[in-house]
Chains A and B, each alone.
Chain A
């Protein structure tokens, strides 16, 4: 029996819109039959193969080309060493070893330190922080105005080490941190120094 044979009221019963008691007496037997069939449905989840599984299944069942078959078949291999052929390969291998294990500093993972930067600039419209830790990008680290007296702050987590930085006021004026030591920046200005 297909669902096309059910009475529309019985379909409502199957949809949960009606109960068996709501059906007229002449439809109750049909309703009971429909419910019995519904209860017999196997509701265990069906695992459909994923795209990868389907592709791999197709690949595995496809016959190997003749060339592949030859490669997969076990056979005897004899190696004859010719030094003049090996020399360039050895040179390349040595170059790669030097390249990989060359004189590079093995820097340990730096520890992180959280730092709060503060600048009092009552007249400023915007303040940001630029330094070695953000590639001197004057837009990368804006400070937030945190008080009515023009206090601007930003809290950053930086790797331990030595950092140089400056505040950028209104996007144009580079100002060293008045609360930190400073060094000549090489351009006639001062960079603040932070050693963590």
Chain B
């Protein structure tokens, strides 16, 4: 109890100092004070603070008026809250990286229920984080939520390396360049991934059916 009473003010003080240091000279004192307050409250709820700081710095760099910067920072907090709640509902362990990835997906147009659906896939936290980033990128490419979540879910379930997940936006862009719509491209890739999951990888891909025979001296 005493330890908590001592540690909490220390942590808050350090957090506020950290935010102030990162914002010093980049935003007005008004914005810095607002972000310190918002960031401290967000951190107490287990949310990452870095996206708030980044948004404030971005606003300062772009010459945006203080009130609009503060509004944008508050919107980021709202996205983080939505993502954290959705991840909890989906049973995922919500570390700050995953929450930030979820907030990006929300900012790109996905909903809390979309985030929950991805969390329920049961991927590792690292894979889920990448999946959320990819889902956000697909949303930014114009892939509708249903096809988006379908494609990322089937890819996460396949257990493939996260590097394969990162290729999904480029694959959708490639199909779109050939004349497909983003929705159709994502749906096609999703069907292909599901079929591959049922029948195994195409010839020449994936693990060999039997381990190679060890060589004897």
Chain A positions within 8 Å of B, measured between CB atoms, are: 87-88, 91-92, 94-95, 97-99, 102-103, 105, 107, 130, 132, 135-138, 161-162, 164, 174, 181-187, 189, 191, 193, 195-196
Contact = CB atoms under 8 A, between A and B. Distances in A.
Contacts of A94: 2-3, 6-7
B104 A162 contact: yes
B6 A92 contact: yes
B61 A187 contact: no
Given A130-B61, A195-B133, 16 more contacts: A91-B6, A94-B7, A98-B3, A103-B46, A132-B54, A135-B26, A138-B61, A161-B133, A182-B140, A183-B108, A183-B140, A186-B71, A187-B58, A187-B68, A189-B62, A193-B136
B195 interface: no
Nearest to A131: B58
Contact of B134 (A92, A103, A187, A195): A195
A122 B41 CA distance: 47
Nearest to B130: A195
Interface residues of B, number: 40
Contact of A186 (B55, B60, B166, B169): B55
Q: What does DSSP make chain B's interface, helix, strand, loop or mixed?
A: helix
B100 to A, nearest CB: 8
Given A132-B54, A184-B107, A195-B169, A95 B6 contact: yes
* The 4 nearest A-B residue pairs measured at CB: A94-B3, A186-B72, A181-B140, A136-B61
Nearest to A166: B62
Interface in B1-53: 2-4, 6-7, 10-11, 26, 46, 48
B7 A95 contact: yes
A99 B166 contact: no
A105 B95 contact: yes
12 contacts: A94-B7, A99-B10, A102-B11, A136-B62, A138-B61, A162-B104, A181-B141, A187-B68, A189-B62, A191-B58, A195-B166, A195-B169
A166 B71 CA distance: 21
B192 interface: no
Contacts of B59: 186-187
Contact of A181 (B48, B76, B101, B169): B169
Given A132-B54, A187-B62, A162 B3 contact: no
Contacts of A195: 133-134, 136-137, 166, 169
B146 interface: no
A185 B136 CA distance: 14
A44 B96 CA distance: 64
Contacts of B96: 105
